[in-house]
Structure 1
Amino acid sequence: QADVVLMESTYGNRDHRDHQATIDELEAILHQAHRDGGNVLMPSFAVGRTQDLIYYLGMLYQKGRLPQQAVFLDSPMAIGANAIYSHFQEQLEISGKAPIEPQQNGRYRIERWLPVLKTTPTAEDSMTINRFKSGVIIIAGSGMCTGGRILHHFKHNLWRKECHLVIPGFQARGTLGRAIVDGARTVKLMHQRIAVNAQVHTLGGFSAHAGQSQLIDWVSHFQPRPELHLVHGELENMQALQQALRDRLGWEANIPELGDRIAL
């Protein structure tokens, strides 16, 4: 029950692939990159998304289905976040047997789940990754490619047709990541113009944002129907979700404009 609901609409215009299909797609990309002889770049947010990626890469590794020789986590913030996730793993909802056994000091080691994971906390460590021309996965920030260490890896890999770029989350309009997803053939970064020859893949199923059907299902359980406002999304996505709510539930949602006030 609620008087007013503010609901996001980031993916208000479409649904994600189901979870297993997304994992299968990731595996296929990794094997194709291995055959092509290039690296795999994964721009990722340090908290949440990175840990998801490590979990699923570890799942593939445990099943003998990860062809890459190393996974580099090139983000000091993500490395710090991993330590917190590992220490409090017993509070996480991980189905089945916990994949990481505790050490004697009570801490958990992600390295047991994904032994090929290598962390590069310093700038010097990060630069050593550039020596690898093939066979590695590089996870680095920022998630929308607007800064951070991923830009350095773009400089060394984005122009190479044998490399693969995996976009695991939403890219907002105006960001470098969005320009690449939209098909830019060249991008400007670090005072240089770099060709985009790498193969680009988007995996919306790893996003923390629900797809259209999930959003509609979630909000349908409110009884009686509260006042509903759509937020956190580009206008066309909000309008698509507004129409879907109208068609499926007969529910008229409001799209607030800048400066609007909602009285509670």
Structure 2
Amino acid sequence: MKNILILLFFVTLGFTKSFGQSTTFIKTIQVSVSNRVALLDAENQPLKTGSLYRVKLSTMSTGVRTGAEYLIWFNISDASWKVRMVTSNGTNSNHPQLEVDSNIVKLYTNHETAYPIKVYAEVFNSGNNYTQPSMFGSSFHWQRYINNLYYMDGNVGIGTDTPKEKLSVNGNIRAHQIKVETTNWPDYVFKDDYKLSSLEDTEKFIQANGHLPQVPKAETVEKEGYSLNEMDKILLKKVEELTLHLIRLDKENKELKELILRK
């Protein structure tokens, strides 16, 4: 039995050394907007590559609600330290923040007065310089700033595991209102230098192609979908062109009526 326990001890020790271990440390650092202090580890040594740091910050001696959580890791591909804000109550006044300055992780606030910041740090010694914060799970890719929740790392899929856009939804979307931001809205159709295609030319194009000019073909839409932004502009442009044709035809109709009445 004694030999088995000794064996288990060494197996556990070997596992810990191979796959790393987590430790914690707590310290208080006084900082301000002009006094930005390097974040050091428990032995007051620079942060170590191959380790992931989950750091929680709270400003002491203040009546303002503060608090933040950051992830810190060394990105070996460009040999630089990275910080990601996971959640924060704010970034102004005496809210604690982390930054990378001259490839050193520093703690500061945006207040002129120096405030003591309580630092609670979990250290995950992965033993692998290529380890990324993904080991904490997908929830740490989302970031919360006050009441805003956002995602910075890539695309988000709902109903699909291969999102092709910032947000890909394989299903229905229900909303009270959707606002699309765009530029080059087609009011240029009403400018004097705009060349309006004749109805004859439009007819010839339809006969040859089976769709309106500048409007995507049905086969393309069925295969690739279409952009609401671009389609709104195209449809408005066609409505404006049609309006100009109607105005011209209305003028011609009135002129013909006057000509008939004069006879």
TM-score of the pair, normalised by structure 2: 0.23
Q: Greater Rg, structure 1 or structure 2?
A: 2
TM-score, with structure 1 as normaliser: 0.23
User: Which structure exhibits the higher relative contact order, with contacts defined as CA atoms closer than 8 Å and separated by 6 or more residues?
Assistant: 1
Q: Quick check: which one's strand share is greater? A: 2
Query: Which one has the bigger helix percentage?
Result: 1
